Structure 1
């Protein structure tokens, strides 16, 4: 059955969709899939073997970028001969108009795109290799996590592997940065608590000196200087919280706690309300 909504796309052209579907599979969602039974040997599969395909777009041909790759002994097969694309619940075979020879389904040439049916036989050129398309009832959510990751990554052709590796490195870096920022925010909060405890102690010592009539003593002056240092350091921490590239939730929580400490314990010294 002819399909008018799809057309051939070269290997590496569906990067965004491939990353999205790979992530859906890795995260445990059910994604469309199908299997190919190889009636002729490929570079990676022997005759009679089959492979379940999870990618939304694969290319068949002799190019090193093709997912299903044939050796150069199949000279009638083009470098990128045809592709299979997932279209909702449908699977579409797309013939490459630049290919030197036709693509066949059940012995009939495909002029452009064709909706595949369970059991359809695909052939690349009149004397070329064959494979059988089979729909699959496999629920990818039932596959173990390690297997899901392995299969999703292994089925990404070379351009996708590079992009997914870069994405993985960026993700790991982002997670590491987030972890560091959470740790740093925790350290700031601990310091605020310690400063608050010291502030309470200094205030009590000042009150004791006043009760003893020692308002102008050197000891009183030292305590006032220490109190000023505590206030300055507290203000500095709040400013650091505002500058940190931490998630808004973590930043807001740390800032909220620091403001509560400042309001509660030394309202006359508080700035920035």
Structure 2
């Protein structure tokens, strides 16, 4: 029996070694655990490739090899497999349930050999230990996409709390508490249900609105008649109507409709990843276990395409509320440790206009980014907030939205804003059915607050990120004064002033 050593779960053995495997370090090997009984998390005959230096087996959610509650004789942290030089050893962790290797009880630890059988407690589930020979056993023989998925499952899982704390520190350093990325709702059943509920509520609200509009028809007709009379008398009623709309925040549908062709639904189609060792590959965003998200962008009259930075570089904003997006977190780790990440986007408008973009085309302000070390030299970062959450690219298109930089920094409290975008993915029904949705917000304080337009009575949702915030001028035309950035709580919003875009 091997001499017992003190084992303690470590970031270096999990995240650190996982990064080395993802980066394809020469000579690194993996092993396979073959499941010999079906459970909630694994089926009988499944081969689980292990690319990190230490894993734990048990019922605890942090275990990389997990069994469900039906296996009552499997402890929450039952056993561990740890690298020891070029060898692997099985370590007994449970104080109440035994571990067996080839039928023999493991008192403390024992070295593993190819073909060994591990059993968790008497009559408990069994695992086969397999070490592929030759080049087939090298980590680099596993495709990059698969390595990224294994890293997420094995390296990050035990350290969600630690990474969450790191993310919280980074977010606090950046100055904004929450960024919202909307994963394509077709891929997420829970979000699909939420969308269905929202559509139902929207239909109910529209029914109520139709009823109210019907009741108000006679009053509106009377008002129209009066305004027509005034126009014939003075010839200035059109301008007066526009001034009333500006003052009250009423929406001029004709003016809004004129803006819609320049508002785009934007989403990634693929992600190019280059590892620090030079190995490269492309991830297809339509596949499972590949990051995917969406947002809003818009075209300015000077040929500039504008959106939020966290729509373009989502991997720098891998905390979604209180949750870690593990797929984005691993891209962040690659990007911060000598690798490169580039996303390919498609932006589509209601007019059918289609723009293809890549993340490296965009001008981005990274001055507020925060970078921290986890352990073993691994770095992670969090994108800055405030007035740095914007990205723009010169695309040479004409006929875009007007914008007002001067007004964007000096709005009065109470000014009504109109926001166009795709909340929760709504409005982007298909590539041929793009219908931006109108939302509203109210300027909460005079001018800027810490570099952004702070809004109250905010009813735009996630998915509107990167969309234009508009005001109506005295001539009845809408112009862009800001870029939707984030929401916090139910009513507060953050809008980056358009003056931030050079």
TM-score relative to the length of structure 1: 0.56
Q: Which has the larger radius of gyration?
A: 1
Contact 1:40 1:46 in 2 (8 A): yes
Match of 1:37 in 2: 34
User: For the residues of structure 2 that align with 1:143 and 1:129, how far apart are their CA atoms?
Assistant: 27
Given the superposition, is the C-alpha separation of residues 28 and 158 from structure 1 closer, same or farther in structure 2, using an over 3 Å criterion?
closer
Residue 43 of structure 1 and its aligned partner are, at CA, apart by 2.8
Match of 1:147 in 2: 146
| Alpha-carbon RMSD | 2.9
Contact 1:118 1:133 in 2 (8 A): yes
Residue 143 of structure 1 and its aligned partner are, at CA, apart by 3.1
Residue 16 of structure 1 and its aligned partner are, at CA, apart by 2.3
User: For the residues of structure 2 that align with 1:68 and 1:151, how far apart are their CA atoms?
Assistant: 12
Contact 1:32 1:86 in 2 (8 A): no
Given the superposition, is the C-alpha separation of residues 163 and 102 from structure 1 closer, same or farther in structure 2, using an over 3 Å criterion?
same
Contact 1:19 1:164 in 2 (8 A): no
- Deviation sequence 1:132-179 (CA, Å, 0-9, x none): 11112322223333332222122225333565685874766899748x
- Deviation sequence 1:106-129 (CA, Å, 0-9, x none): 111000000011111110111211
- Deviation sequence 1:17-74 (CA, Å, 0-9, x none): 3222122122221423100111112332101111111111111111111111112121
Match of 1:241 in 2: none
Match of 2:118 in 1: 122
- The answer for unaligned runs of 5 or more in structure 2 is 168-314, 317-331, 341-364, 370-502
Given the superposition, is the C-alpha separation of residues 159 and 131 from structure 1 closer, same or farther in structure 2, using an over 3 Å criterion?
closer
Contact 1:153 1:161 in 2 (8 A): no
Moved more, 86-95 or 66-75: 66-75
Report whether the alignment pairs 1:103 with 2:102: no
Given the superposition, is the C-alpha separation of residues 143 and 162 from structure 1 closer, same or farther in structure 2, using an over 3 Å criterion?
farther
1:37-186 to structure 2, matched below 5 A, reads 37-96=34-93, 98-137=94-133, 138-161=137-160, 163=162, 169=316, 177=366
Contact 1:90 1:115 in 2 (8 A): yes
| DSSP 3-state at the match of 2:155 | coil
- Deviation sequence 1:186-236 (CA, Å, 0-9, x none): xxxxxxxxxxxxxxxxxxxxxxxxxxxxxxxxxxxxxxxxxxxxxxxxxxx
Structure 1 moving runs of 4+ over 3 Å: 5-9, 161-178
Contact 2:75 2:96 in 1 (8 A): yes
- The answer for unaligned runs of 5 or more in structure 1 is 181-273
User: For the residues of structure 2 that align with 1:54 and 1:100, how far apart are their CA atoms?
Assistant: 29
| DSSP 3-state at the match of 2:150 | helix
Given the superposition, is the C-alpha separation of residues 88 and 160 from structure 1 closer, same or farther in structure 2, using an over 3 Å criterion?
same
Contact 2:4 2:108 in 1 (8 A): no
Given the superposition, is the C-alpha separation of residues 157 and 28 from structure 1 closer, same or farther in structure 2, using an over 3 Å criterion?
closer
Moved more, 142-151 or 52-61: 142-151
The structure whose residues are more often helix, as a share, is 1
The structure whose residues are more often strand, as a share, is 2
Residue 7 of structure 1 and its aligned partner are, at CA, apart by 4.1
Given the superposition, is the C-alpha separation of residues 86 and 42 from structure 1 closer, same or farther in structure 2, using an over 3 Å criterion?
farther
